[in-house]
Amino acid sequence: MSERTIEFLAEVDNHSNIQGLDGDGFERNRIADTIATKVVVDTECGTVVVRMYIDGQRYAEGDYYTDDKADALATAKSIRDKASVRRHRGDHRLAECQPCADVVEAMRWWLDDCTLPDGYEASSMDADEVISFVRNGYDGGIDQFLADGAAN
C-alpha cells in the first residue's frame, strides 16, 4: 500500500480503561499508559485509515477505515479524547488530578450546607470521606450529584 500521512502520530496519556498489549499485539489485563493515532490515506484506492497505537505499539484491530478525511480526523480525535478523559482508577490519586479535586471540592461545598454527624466537618474530611458522604447522603448518589450539575 502506498500512503500519504494526513495527521502525524499524536499520543496522549491513557486515563481511561483501554487495555495494554502483550508482545504479540493482543490485549492484556493491564491498563495502557499511552494511546496514539495516525491518519493516512491509501494513495492507490483513496481509503483513509486511522491507525491506533497502544503504548507505542501498532494495534491493527483498532484501525478505522473510511472514505471521508473529516470523518477519519474526527475519529482519531475521539479515540485520543476517550483515552485522555480522567476516570478514577485504583492507582489514581485524587489529590493529583485537578478535575477530580474540583469535583471533590464541589462535594465539600454541598456538605457544608448539610447537618453532619457529631465530630465531622466537611473542611477537615479527606477526599474519600467526602465522596462517601455524598454517595450515601445525596438523593441519587454521586451519579445524580454529577447529573444535577452540582459539581459545576
Locate the domains of the chain by residue range: 3-84, 94-147
pTM of the model: 0.54
Is the per-residue pLDDT at 89 higher than 70?
Answer: no
- Provide the pLDDT for residue 88: 47
pLDDT at 12: 78
Highest mean pLDDT among 1-10, 61-70, 106-115, 133-142: 61-70
Question: Which stretch of 14-23, 63-72, 99-108, 141-150 has the lowest confidence by average pLDDT?
Answer: 14-23
> What is the SS3 assignment for 34?
strand
- Phi, psi at residue 9, to the nearest 5°? -50, 125
